[in-house]
A and B are shown apart, each in its own frame.
Chain A
């Protein structure tokens, strides 16, 4: 503090910061990116370890024997599913009852705001069936959930089979201390949303569901199982949930520990972990895995049925069976044993999972990067914004060195008027509101006047509003003040930079990946845009770095990382469907990415666009 209270030294420091502002910013940006890339380097990361004592040292023995019978049940389920043309409710109820469960059903219906073309659904009606295995001598205060989706076609029949097999096996065991709920949900996430809302009696998205009859108290943990083949080569763990929420790391540790114990290949993001971290390919593998996690988390959508549990503070993950061309296969009995082991350990829990991390990234299943390690990468980017803001503040505070006609000028400069700042702010936010509301409201009009489907109408309206927004605000300030003053854009930029810093900071705290990706593209824009730079080139760069283009690049990068590169046209189609999915996720499950981008990030970017065209 002595450094700052000494005016001389303070002046020196300030002049250093203003003089070297640009180089420091560049260095910070490079350092931030480098730090982030370094996170995937194995020596810099920590090995995962079990923090929860109740799950760590206790031994359990897995004895589940009936994998074959479970697959048989799965085949039976598939036959009944075909016959019923959907969820075979009666058969499931009867089967669960014969396994000694208390069985209940829940009906739900939902009309989507516009048709979902990926999954081909609009009016959704369905039934969830769940059976509760009551733990002996337990007072119905705690429960665990095992769920399997009833998917259309031939998918996930084996998952339901294994679920029923486990139910039968678990029923005969005496050691349960928590009720176990076996749930078969229809229409994947929509059914899950209905069930969870029914269980907790909330209604966040305006869905119709019938109230639940049976409950098991507060749910401690949940696993969702997806299995579409009789044998699998590996099991994939999906953690990313709604709005980028992640379950407690101990759940991932538990899965990894049992995979190691039983000898099942396990992956995360569909990538096996490699041991050659010191080679270039090993490192790039880890980077790919981590980048995939970052992309998925940033998307803010639930990547499995587990994703919706996280809102209710229930630790949940999805386990996916993957059948590839590898030699080594794992049968259903082994998967059953793995799940049995996990449930027995979860059953031992005395408290909710809370010991380990909730904020982490995983470059592989056995290594993780905790929040303390990845936050500096974002911090370095955010620092650029603060440095620019400081620079602008100083520029505004110190009068220009001119002395002759400076008197009149300074007076004018010192008070650029609230309106000249407020007007662009308001107008860009109104554009944001339009982007948020218009696509869904105007879909019918659009369908009438143009030869497009509803979904296309929504997406194209969104893109149209977005593009229109580029033209709208950059001249508006002239309506009020006549012409942009020199100080006017500085004040506006100061406001915009601070706004962006707060916005990104908050986003990164909740969803690091989203905050970081947005910072990567928006920070350079924010840092270097002035009215004085060459217009055409800057405008081009700004459009390239705008949120919409960021999304487009992300789509291509994601496909590249998944080793499924697409052509530009396919990528464009994918891009359109991603936009529609984002809007749907918001309407159906309350995902916050779309409103965040439309209402806050995009207007913020428009402010910088405004500054570029100030003169």
Chain B
């Protein structure tokens, strides 16, 4: 058993070191030559081929259009190569910070449209050393102070309204659970982690105008394996990690405004102009996030810098029944057009995913662009049209950019993403229930391990002995289980498992629970709405789609395609299930309830006398004789005469 565990932890270590490696690698890539292709990267794993690579490839690609673009690519390349130099030159003596912004637009399988904004601020500074950082340029001061005061090493916070529909939309660039999610790695110098965490949540609650102050010990957990640091650093002791979700948190304008204020240009210029709340919240999905982590500045990783990534993902619903072609434009989506890049940004780009349409039959993009870019996103090779907002020519003669896409939608049939999950509560009645988590591996021939993290509030008492994991009708023994039982009113259940998902299968994890009866002051004001259980988190290294198609239709040099390339062979993915709404036994907090309480009181009071009546036997007692009579009786007794 011990050996077993050893091998397991070794595996875990490998997974996370691989992760760190990949991330670091991607960072290197972005910092060395590339300044645009990060568009679509998932924070977790970015394996991207750069434009340079794309420029080399057209030679082997047979298509005309690619050839055409070679020239443009070359010129673009020239500009690109010249640009970073100027940036570097200007930024070396100055405070070493840098701001990039980009927007990725992807028409989705279901006919909806996905817009993903990313704003990245890099700053080569050290918050942790004794010297106080007081001069802020691009980096928001409020967050900088938070980092230095609470010795934060990494901070990830997301606010999401809606649930990402994997079956229709595919994978998101940045997954996030419905509601608010916050996870923080503290520096190992922090002694009182819980106290710091409590303070930090209160401060963040103020910064983002959200109810993060409701994070307390009853919904905070310390995952042992699921959440590893994404930045540099090799401390993986989960004592310094805190993770909490608030599934009920509702995200709205009051959270968006402070989020926008963290941007160097605010919402005055650049891509942030598009972020108008009346349109952003008229969508099917809305998610905004802030990620702070330390990253390497150069190849040798001699100096580190802090990276602040602000991301915002929206899915717009474009359902118009009976219409063959869908039309979409920046103006229609955001009710704004773009006129300039943020002047502080070193790069400002819009990417449009045109992968699903290599022939240009389904899509029409206007104004047309000649810049193309390829990137590996989530194990899939995608092609993008690129619009560089720093170039005046992008805006054309009208001095405003209003991208327009027309495409044919293919509604109906659902996608089969390689990994997806769902969760529900089974059973009826208010005494017990069962949580079912289904994990689908749709890969035709490869199995892969996933880490499942479940954090369940204490008022659902998990019967951990009923935990079963089955796939394909057979028992599937998890190779690693980390379970921390709950304590009533103190901490939640934490269940982490490493499960191997067989190819083309559904793995079902079930565990039964009992619903606790709360104290009457512990009920929420709307107890009949139910109580939320946060999403479970599934993290995994998923075999990539590119590695999957061995007999590619796309022509590739033979020498390049025998062994699947290692970087592309698998990619990191995190999937969140839906949160659960569970009804607990609730007293009827209304008039009948009071009546019952009163009646019970009356019965309780009356019980004593009734009990008396039932258990005693009653007799008529002669009134006690008077003193004279008693004396007379004594005398009579002495005389031997019967008493009176």
Distance between Cα atoms of A350 and B609 in the complex (Å): 46
What would be 6 A-B contacts, judged by CB atoms less than 8 Å apart?
Answer: A139-B247, A141-B580, A172-B319, A201-B427, A215-B424, A217-B578
Any chain B CB within 8 A of the CB of A13? no
Which residues of chain A are within 8 angstroms of B620 by Cβ–Cβ distance? 7-8
Which residues of chain A are within 8 angstroms of B178 by Cβ–Cβ distance? 139-140
- Which listed residue (A4, A98, A174) contacts B282, Cβ 8 A? A174
Given contacts A168-B321, A201-B426, A313-B428, contact A97 B583 (CB under 8 A): no
Any chain A CB within 8 A of the CB of B514? no
Q: How many whole Å from A550's CB to the nearest CB in chain B?
A: 31
Q: How many whole Å from B165's CB to the nearest CB in chain A?
A: 7
Question: What is the chain A residue whose CB lies nearest that of B316?
Answer: A136
Q: How many whole Å from B584's CB to the nearest CB in chain A?
A: 12
- Which listed residue (B162, B321, B413, B532) contacts A171, Cβ 8 A? B321
Bitwise, B577-603 to A at CB < 8 A (1) or not (0) is 011111100001010000000000000
Asked if B283 and A352 sit within 8 Å, CB to CB, the answer is: no
- Which listed residue (A94, A137, A172, A313) contacts B286, Cβ 8 A? A137
Which residues of chain B are within 8 angstroms of A138 by Cβ–Cβ distance? 162-163
Q: How many whole Å from B392's CB to the nearest CB in chain A?
A: 37
| Residues in A96-142 with C-beta less than 8 Å from chain B | 97-100, 102, 134, 136-142
Bitwise, A1-13 to B at CB < 8 A (1) or not (0) is 1001101101000
Between B179, B529, B583, B610, the greatest number of chain A beta carbons within 10 A of the residue's beta carbon is seen for: B529
Any chain A CB within 8 A of the CB of B436? yes
Given contacts A1-B610, A102-B414, A139-B163, contact A218 B530 (CB under 8 A): yes
Asked if A1 and B613 sit within 8 Å, CB to CB, the answer is: yes
- Which listed residue (B321, B422, B612) contacts A98, Cβ 8 A? B321
| Residues in B530-572 with C-beta less than 8 Å from chain A | 530, 532
Which residues of chain A are within 8 angstroms of B426 by Cβ–Cβ distance? 200-202
Distance between Cα atoms of A137 and B284 in the complex (Å): 5
Asked if B581 and A201 sit within 8 Å, CB to CB, the answer is: no
- Which listed residue (B165, B247, B428) contacts A134, Cβ 8 A? B165
Any chain B CB within 8 A of the CB of A478? no
Any chain A CB within 8 A of the CB of B54? no
Which residues of chain A are within 8 angstroms of B424 by Cβ–Cβ distance? 201, 215, 217
Which residues of chain A are within 8 angstroms of B588 by Cβ–Cβ distance? 354
Asked if A202 and B427 sit within 8 Å, CB to CB, the answer is: yes
Given contacts A137-B162, A352-B528, contact A218 B412 (CB under 8 A): no
Any chain B CB within 8 A of the CB of A311? yes
Q: How many whole Å from A370's CB to the nearest CB in chain B?
A: 10
Question: What is the chain B residue whose CB lies nearest that of A97?
Answer: B412
Distance between Cα atoms of A140 and B283 in the complex (Å): 15
Any chain A CB within 8 A of the CB of B327? no
Q: How many whole Å from B470's CB to the nearest CB in chain A?
A: 12
Q: How many whole Å from A359's CB to the nearest CB in chain B?
A: 11
- Which listed residue (B425, B436, B590, B619) contacts A7, Cβ 8 A? B619
Distance between Cα atoms of A5 and B179 in the complex (Å): 64
Which residues of chain B are within 8 angstroms of A351 by Cβ–Cβ distance? 526-529
Q: How many whole Å from B558's CB to the nearest CB in chain A?
A: 41
Any chain B CB within 8 A of the CB of A467? no
Asked if A98 and B319 sit within 8 Å, CB to CB, the answer is: no
Asked if A5 and B317 sit within 8 Å, CB to CB, the answer is: no
Distance between Cα atoms of A263 and B426 in the complex (Å): 41
Asked if A137 and B281 sit within 8 Å, CB to CB, the answer is: yes
Given contacts A136-B283, A313-B428, contact A5 B618 (CB under 8 A): yes
> Please, how many residues of chain A have a CB less than 8 angstroms from a CB on the other chain?
38
Asked if A354 and B528 sit within 8 Å, CB to CB, the answer is: yes
| Residues in A120-168 with C-beta less than 8 Å from chain B | 134, 136-142, 168
Which residues of chain A are within 8 angstroms of B476 by Cβ–Cβ distance? none
Any chain A CB within 8 A of the CB of B222? no
Distance between Cα atoms of A312 and B425 in the complex (Å): 12
Q: How many whole Å from A472's CB to the nearest CB in chain B?
A: 38
Which residues of chain A are within 8 angstroms of B322 by Cβ–Cβ distance? 98
Distance between Cα atoms of A220 and B503 in the complex (Å): 36
Question: What is the chain A residue whose CB lies nearest that of B425?
Answer: A218
Asked if A98 and B412 sit within 8 Å, CB to CB, the answer is: yes
Distance between Cα atoms of A217 and B281 in the complex (Å): 22
Asked if B411 and A97 sit within 8 Å, CB to CB, the answer is: yes
Any chain B CB within 8 A of the CB of A355? yes
Distance between Cα atoms of A141 and B583 in the complex (Å): 12
Between A4, A7, A351, the greatest number of chain B beta carbons within 10 A of the residue's beta carbon is seen for: A351
Distance between Cα atoms of A557 and B317 in the complex (Å): 56
| Residues in A6-56 with C-beta less than 8 Å from chain B | 7-8, 10
**Known interface pairs A172-B321, A215-B424; 4 further A-B residue pairs with C-beta atoms within 8 A, sorted by A's residue number:** A5-B612, A140-B178, A142-B581, A351-B527
Q: How many whole Å from B393's CB to the nearest CB in chain A?
A: 37
Any chain A CB within 8 A of the CB of B161? yes
Asked if B162 and A136 sit within 8 Å, CB to CB, the answer is: yes
Which residues of chain B are within 8 angstroms of A99 by Cβ–Cβ distance? 321
Any chain A CB within 8 A of the CB of B285? yes
| Residues in B208-245 with C-beta less than 8 Å from chain A | none
Distance between Cα atoms of A97 and B322 in the complex (Å): 11
Asked if A102 and B168 sit within 8 Å, CB to CB, the answer is: yes
| Residues in B379-407 with C-beta less than 8 Å from chain A | none
- Which listed residue (A134, A202, A215) contacts B422, Cβ 8 A? A215
Which 4 pairs, one residue from A and one from B, show the smallest C-beta to C-beta distance? A139-B178, A201-B426, A351-B528, A137-B162
Which residues of chain B are within 8 angstroms of A137 by Cβ–Cβ distance? 161-162, 281, 283-286
| Residues in A439-475 with C-beta less than 8 Å from chain B | none
Q: How many whole Å from A534's CB to the nearest CB in chain B?
A: 38
Which residues of chain B are within 8 angstroms of A136 by Cβ–Cβ distance? 162, 283-285, 317
Q: How many whole Å from A202's CB to the nearest CB in chain B?
A: 6
Asked if A102 and B163 sit within 8 Å, CB to CB, the answer is: no
Distance between Cα atoms of A138 and B281 in the complex (Å): 12
Given contacts A97-B411, A174-B282, A350-B526, contact A141 B161 (CB under 8 A): no
Bitwise, B166-204 to A at CB < 8 A (1) or not (0) is 011000000000110000000000000000000000000
Q: How many whole Å from A311's CB to the nearest CB in chain B?
A: 6
Any chain A CB within 8 A of the CB of B434? yes
Asked if B162 and A313 sit within 8 Å, CB to CB, the answer is: no
Given contacts A138-B162, A218-B530, A352-B528, contact A102 B167 (CB under 8 A): yes
Which residues of chain B are within 8 angstroms of A215 by Cβ–Cβ distance? 422, 424
Question: What is the chain B residue whose CB lies nearest that of A371?
Answer: B592
Distance between Cα atoms of A203 and B214 in the complex (Å): 38
Asked if A352 and B529 sit within 8 Å, CB to CB, the answer is: yes
Asked if A200 and B529 sit within 8 Å, CB to CB, the answer is: no
Q: How many whole Å from B205's CB to the nearest CB in chain A?
A: 21
Asked if A218 and B583 sit within 8 Å, CB to CB, the answer is: yes
Asked if B162 and A139 sit within 8 Å, CB to CB, the answer is: yes
Which residues of chain B are within 8 angstroms of A355 by Cβ–Cβ distance? 590
Which residues of chain B are within 8 angstroms of A94 by Cβ–Cβ distance? 412
Which residues of chain B are within 8 angstroms of A354 by Cβ–Cβ distance? 528, 588
Asked if B618 and A141 sit within 8 Å, CB to CB, the answer is: no
Asked if B529 and A350 sit within 8 Å, CB to CB, the answer is: yes
Between A98, A136, A355, the greatest number of chain B beta carbons within 10 A of the residue's beta carbon is seen for: A136
Which residues of chain B are within 8 angstroms of A98 by Cβ–Cβ distance? 321-322, 411-412
Distance between Cα atoms of A134 and B321 in the complex (Å): 16
Distance between Cα atoms of A142 and B532 in the complex (Å): 11
- Which listed residue (A97, A171, A201) contacts B434, Cβ 8 A? A201
- Which listed residue (A7, A141, A200, A202) contacts B579, Cβ 8 A? A141
Which residues of chain A are within 8 angstroms of B411 by Cβ–Cβ distance? 97-98, 100
Asked if B168 and A100 sit within 8 Å, CB to CB, the answer is: no
Which residues of chain B are within 8 angstroms of A140 by Cβ–Cβ distance? 163, 178, 578-579
Distance between Cα atoms of A10 and B613 in the complex (Å): 11
Asked if B436 and A201 sit within 8 Å, CB to CB, the answer is: yes
- Which listed residue (A10, A102, A311) contacts B618, Cβ 8 A? A10
Distance between Cα atoms of A218 and B424 in the complex (Å): 9
Distance between Cα atoms of A218 and B531 in the complex (Å): 11
Question: What is the chain A residue whose CB lies nearest that of B590?
Answer: A355
Distance between Cα atoms of A215 and B319 in the complex (Å): 21
Q: How many whole Å from B361's CB to the nearest CB in chain A?
A: 22
Which residues of chain A are within 8 angstroms of B179 by Cβ–Cβ distance? 139
Bitwise, A329-361 to B at CB < 8 A (1) or not (0) is 000000000000000000000111011000000
